[in-house]
Amino acid sequence: MLATTKGFVFKTTPYSETSVIAKVFTWHAGIQSYIVKGVRSAKGRNKQNMLQPLSYVDIAYYHNAKSEIQYIKELKPAKQWNSIPIDCSKTAIIFFMTELLYKTVREEEPNQAMFNHIARSVDMLDSMETNIASFPITFMLETARYLGIEPLNNYSVSQPLFNLNEGEFVGVPSAFADTKCLLDAEQSLVLHQYMSNHYITQQPPFQQRNALLKSLIDYYKTHFDTMGNFQSHYVLHQVLQ
């Protein structure tokens, strides 16, 4: 049976000499796997361009309920971005977003709220002209909401430190308490300010952003074993200074 859907490409893996298996986050069924024939041949270069990280594609495929992998009949862009392909900073952010999503979005069922969130986020990144360096942090915080791990913004004078394990701000611990899971006062304040949309028109210095991004990755790791060997943020540190 021939079926259609829209989706965001998360990852491709070589399959045979000329084909790939594409992991796609689809509108109708969450994460799905598709075989794309001939994409690695000389005649398939155009298709390869449509399988870049977070490419937004229209898919026509042969649906087989007995198989976990479907065959794509036709693949075409659902939308093309303007600035992302030619801006190295935005391209690096796209790779970061893709790795984060690939390692945390697991369901093989519809999640249209997450799908719409991804679409809005990529649209926003494509149109942004300023404050691009803060985008990875805001994306992580917004995505956490759709993953069910949104941190609580309960910052106060009496609760000035963010606890990575608890996902909320807590009071200053005693001298004998384990503080490995706590962000320091400076990082905690910057996190609170991001969560309060303080950095809409400005952004903190590189060192603060870099430290907070690493801490948010650690926060995700407390919830997802699949985060494991997360790599793409190292490129961000080079291009978003």
Query: Going by C-beta distance under 8 Å and a sequence separation of 6 or more, which residues neighbour residue 177?
Result: none
**Count of the separate structural domains present in the chain:** 2
Q: What is the DSSP string of 84-118?
A: GGG-HHHHHHHHHHHHHHHHH---SS--HHHHHHH
Strands (E), 16-68: 19-26, 30-36, 56-62
Residue 12 belongs to a domain with what CATH number?
A: 2.40.50.140
Last residue of a domain, one of 17, 46, 79: 79
Last residue of a domain, one of 43, 58, 79: 79
110 and 47 in a single domain? The answer is: no
31 and 103 in a single domain? The answer is: no
pLDDT higher than threshold 80 for residue 212: yes
- 198: tokens are 């303080």
23 and 134 in a single domain? The answer is: no
57 and 174 in a single domain? The answer is: no
56 and 138 in a single domain? The answer is: no
Nearest to 236 by CA among 216, 102, 114: 216
- The per-residue pLDDT for 89 is 95
Last residue of a domain, one of 79, 108, 123: 79
Query: What's the whole-model pTM score?
Result: 0.93
> Cα–Cα distances in Å, from 9 out to 1, 32, 47, 205, 213?
22, 10, 12, 32, 24
Q: Which domain holds residue 180?
A: 84-239
Whole-angstrom distance between the N-terminal and C-terminal Cα of the chain?
Answer: 50
Lowest mean pLDDT among 91-95, 117-121, 177-181: 177-181
